[in-house]
Amino acid sequence: MGSILLLLATATPIYAGTNWAALTSGQSCLAMARSELVAPRGKVQPTIAVAFDRGGTRRGQVSVRLGRLVRNGSQPLLQVGERPFLLLASGDRAWSRDSAQDAAILVSLRSGGAAKLSYRAQGGGGYSDRFLLGGAATAIDSAAATCSR
């Protein structure tokens, strides 16, 4: 996840839509969106991202930055349209279990509509973040194409 933060700090935009954007730092590319609700000042803005590496290991890796720390042992549920996906999580991050789940999530993200991530935070409260999917397919394709060259 540290590589995503580095990418954001040094990124060049390659696509900017209403809900999604695609960025590159040369060796890595990222399609991402923030949650529908803007986080209050001083709070973490939840984001969903799809990462690609130029000739590297990430070929559509899905990850989510949570607005709160996830409760230990909690498995966040990402609902994309009608499809549910149980994710792995630690701290304020959640990610897909493997490349097969990445591929299934990408198919669902392309369908449009919205995605919702639900999880239990430390302290026991239940939370969810909603992500609009308009422009997701174009952002994902832009990131994938840029990192395939």
For residue 43, give the H/E element and its range.
Answer: none
Torsion angles phi and psi, residue 133, rounded to 5: -105, 0
pLDDT digits (tens, 9 = 90+) for 14-71: 999 989 999 999 889 999 999 999 998 999 999 999 999 987 777 899 999 999 999 9
Instruction: Judge contact between 38 and 109, C-beta under 8 A.
Output: no
For residue 73, how far is the Cα from the chain centroid?
20
- CA torsion 95-42-32-93 (nearest 10°) is -10
Examine the pLDDT at 117 and tell me if it is beyond 60.
yes
Fold of 2-148: Immunoglobulin-like (2.60.40)
Torsion angles phi and psi, residue 127, rounded to 5: -135, 160
Q: d(Cα 106, Cα 26) in Å, to the nearest integer?
A: 22
